[in-house]
Homo-oligomer: A and B are copies of this chain.
Amino acid sequence: MQTEKFLLGRGREDLSDDEKRVIEDSIATVRTLPGRTRLIRAGERVEHSTLLLEGFICRYMDDREGQRQLVAVHVPGDFVDLHGFPMKYLDHDIATLGPVKVATFEHDTLTTITERFPHLTRMLWFSTLLDAAMHREWIFRLGRLGAEGRLAHLFCELNVRLGMVGLARDGVFALPMTQPDLAEACGITGVHVNRVLRGLRERGALTFKANEVRILDRKALEAIGEFESDYLYVNRTA
C-alpha cells in the first residue's frame, strides 16, 4: 500500500474502500529522489501530479534578486501539485528538502477519475482547498506576526500536520530544513532566524537542531504564534 498516508487528515476518512483502491491503482510511477532537487519549474507544462509518500517537499517563488520565498511545505500524504491538473502549468517552483519518495499520477488518469467518481473528485478538490487554507494562514502569519511569531506558528503547523500522519510524537519531529530555509519560509533573514531561535530556546519553548525539532512548551509556542489549528480542518464536524 504505497498510499497509506494519502490524504490522511485531509478528508481521508470520507473515502470509501473503492475510492482508496482507485487511487492506489492509478499510480503511474514511484520514485526516490535526493534532497535539494527541483521537481518542477514555474511555467512548465505538467502532464502528471505528484503524491508525496516519504520526506519533505517545498514550493517557492523567487524575487528579482533571486531570493526565495517558500509558499508551502509538504509532508507525507500530501498531493503536492494536484493543482497542476486543472491548471496545466504552475506559477511556482517545486523542490525536495531532504530525500523523498514520490508517486506520480498521469493527468489523463485523473480526468477519467473526475468523469467516473464525483465524490472522490470533490475529495481531491477539498485537498487543494486545504492547501489554499494554509496559504491564507501563511498570509496572516507574514502580515500580522513578528519574526518570533512567524517561526513559532510554522513549527506549530508542522507539528500538527506531521502528527496527523504519525511523524510527530509529543512535539518531536524530524525536519530537514536549515536556518536559511526557515528564513525563506518566514520572510526574514537567516541571521535573524538564528537570534530568534536562541530566544525561543532560552525561554524553554523549543529546541531546533539539524533535522530535529523538539517543542518543549506547546502552549507557549501557540501563544507566541497565535496558532489555532482550525484552518487545518483536523476535526471536521461540519
Contacts and interface: CB of A to CB of B under 8 A. Distances in A.
Interface of A: 42-43, 45, 59, 61, 63-64, 67, 69, 71-72, 83, 86-89, 91-92, 114-115, 118, 121-123, 125-126, 128-129, 131-133, 135-140, 142-145, 186-187, 226, 230-231, 233, 236, 238
Contacts of A125: 86, 125, 128
A140 B42 CA distance: 14
B114 A144 contact: no
Contacts of A144: 63, 67, 69, 187
Given A45-B238, A86-B126, A230 B91 contact: yes
A129 B86 CA distance: 8
Nearest to A150: B143
Nearest to A142: B142
20 contacts: A61-B136, A63-B144, A69-B139, A69-B140, A69-B144, A71-B140, A72-B136, A83-B132, A87-B126, A87-B133, A91-B133, A91-B136, A91-B230, A91-B231, A92-B136, A118-B118, A125-B125, A139-B142, A142-B143, A143-B186
Given A143-B142, A187-B143, A43 B230 contact: yes
Contacts of A59: 136
A99 B236 CA distance: 33
Top 8 nearest A-B pairs (CB, nearest first) are A143-B187, A135-B135, A142-B142, A132-B132, A91-B231, A88-B238, A86-B126, A69-B143
Contacts of A230: 42-43, 91
Contacts of A133: 87, 91
Contacts of A186: 143
